Chains A and B, each alone.
Chain A
């Protein structure tokens, strides 16, 4: 006798194919949820915010009245923060990456540093705010100034930049490194003249992505004492400051309905800056892809 009954199989087959189609459609719809959400968000923010963007908004300080509120202090403050964050985090991140990939011997210490970086990446951003408040603001006593905010953000995105730099350094082919060593180059000569130049596109891309994360961070800055209302521009890293997301947050906290439009306008400016940074990163990534 036959173990397999042709007819039953045929009958089941139809159901199974139907089921497959139904699930395919469900998976697709789920994916569309993210797309729809993004579309709704973009539409909402743009329609609400774009009308509020004028010269007054871009060149003005914040204000108690929604018509006169501007984001200048926020934009300038965010740029100052990046001027502190970028060099600190890029230097530390790239140095750590080179150490781990090229110098460190495989062993406990290396594993420990690597695991530590992985764990730091999972620490909530607000905890970095608490760290900055205690260490920079009070222990080093530098106060609630740009330097404290910028350093806190630098430590926050350090794991992101380190991991990106490690990946780019690891992607440099061994045979090119060997060619350098075989000519009598020392380790540092090889790192500086061969490995770093080859890894630099990846490092730049990773750095821009990390900085675009930093520039949108709100929580740690609130904790380390960014001001919500400030009416002068910072004149150095020891000035009190505000930042774009801080301004946006303070506007969402206002009871008047009209501040929603101001917040939207601020968000449009923030998103445009982020979009710009990301486009540069994508451009660099595509331009230097497939070099090997």
Chain B
């Protein structure tokens, strides 16, 4: 992966050669009421990359990832300025239906949040709401998605059981499978392993490696080792600013910014 390192703190733009850009974030600012949570973020995210977003608590990393599928708007007092283009279209455009965006950009949350329904119903929820109703297709989707989330062998005999009966790690993989069922383009993961035990975490990390073959993945994590293990590129956020964004190896071995270095060497956070 060839690249050039530009290391101005706020305008750090990662350049990839052969790859398509999925997201292009330009001058993004975000406020919760009077409080500004993101300051002038500029960032390009490439296709089939795993992009990790790290930073201390309250740095805006979670807010940022929720802006990418506009889930951040669930809070009524949110305002934004700037632009996020997804595959060339500005997602803040009035004519851009938020449901269209979220159909192509799936999300996995911090706490596993399966629906209080059977495993099967959890997976077919997405296809159903998007108009796929024939049983045969749905059955095929369930198998494919559960296989994709490395869960098929564990649950194939109890698809009609409530998803709440599964362990935390399995629930999180149900959520991933649910996300895969509508074949998104991008998967956003908001600290997907923070509520899980180490074994489940390892499974999810392994899964992320497999998923990047077919999906672009953006993952927020507070765990720097995790970012180093699984991501191609890493962005470091601090106090709502994108401090540094670079190839993961470079960022961790030769950070370009003093603050990044302080953070990854554990001096704060």
Contacts and interface: CB of A to CB of B under 8 A. Distances in A.
Q: Are A and B in direct contact (Cβ within 8 Å)?
A: yes
Contact of A183 (B74, B116, B178): B178
A292 B125 contact: no
A46 B152 CA distance: 60
B116 to A, nearest CB: 6
Contacts of A12: none
A181 B71 CA distance: 8
A266 B126 CA distance: 54
Given A175-B113, A198-B116, A292-B116, A182 B129 contact: no
Interface in A155-202: 173-176, 178-186, 189, 193-194, 197-198
A24 interface: no
Contact of B116 (A176, A182, A189): A176
Interface in A269-292: 291-292
A27 to B, nearest CB: 41
B119 to A, nearest CB: 14
B182 A179 contact: no
A105 B76 contact: yes
A182 B102 contact: yes
B42 to A, nearest CB: 25
B35 interface: no
B69 interface: yes
Nearest to A105: B76
Nearest to A172: B116
Nearest to B162: A291
A180 B115 contact: yes
Contact of B74 (A181, A185, A291): A181
B258 interface: no
A105 B182 CA distance: 31
B71 A184 contact: no
A174 B114 CA distance: 12
B175 A189 contact: no
A194 B116 CA distance: 8
Interface in A130-178: 173-176, 178
Interface residues of B, number: 28
Contact of B182 (A183, A197, A291): A183
B116 A291 contact: yes
A53 B126 CA distance: 57
Contacts of B179: 183
Interface in B73-108: 74, 76, 99-103, 106-107
B123 to A, nearest CB: 11
Contacts of A182: 69, 71, 102, 106-107, 109
Contact of B103 (A173, A174, A178, A184): A184
A88 B266 CA distance: 63
Contact of B129 (A193, A291, A292): A193
Contacts of B99: 184-186
A180 B125 contact: yes
Given A182-B107, A183-B178, A194 B115 contact: yes
Contacts of A197: 116-117
A181 B113 contact: no
A184 B182 CA distance: 10
Given A178-B71, A292-B116, A183 B106 contact: yes
Contacts of B128: 193
A20 B64 CA distance: 59
A189 B71 contact: no
A288 to B, nearest CB: 10
A181 B102 contact: yes
Interface in A76-132: 105-106
Contacts of A175: 109, 111, 113
A178 B106 CA distance: 12
B130 interface: yes
Interface string B171-204: 0000100110010000000000000000000000
6 contacts: A180-B115, A182-B69, A183-B126, A183-B179, A184-B126, A184-B182
Interface of A: 105-106, 173-176, 178-186, 189, 193-194, 197-198, 291-292
Question: Top 7 A-B pairs ranked by shortest CB distance?
Answer: A184-B103, A184-B102, A175-B113, A182-B107, A184-B99, A183-B126, A179-B113
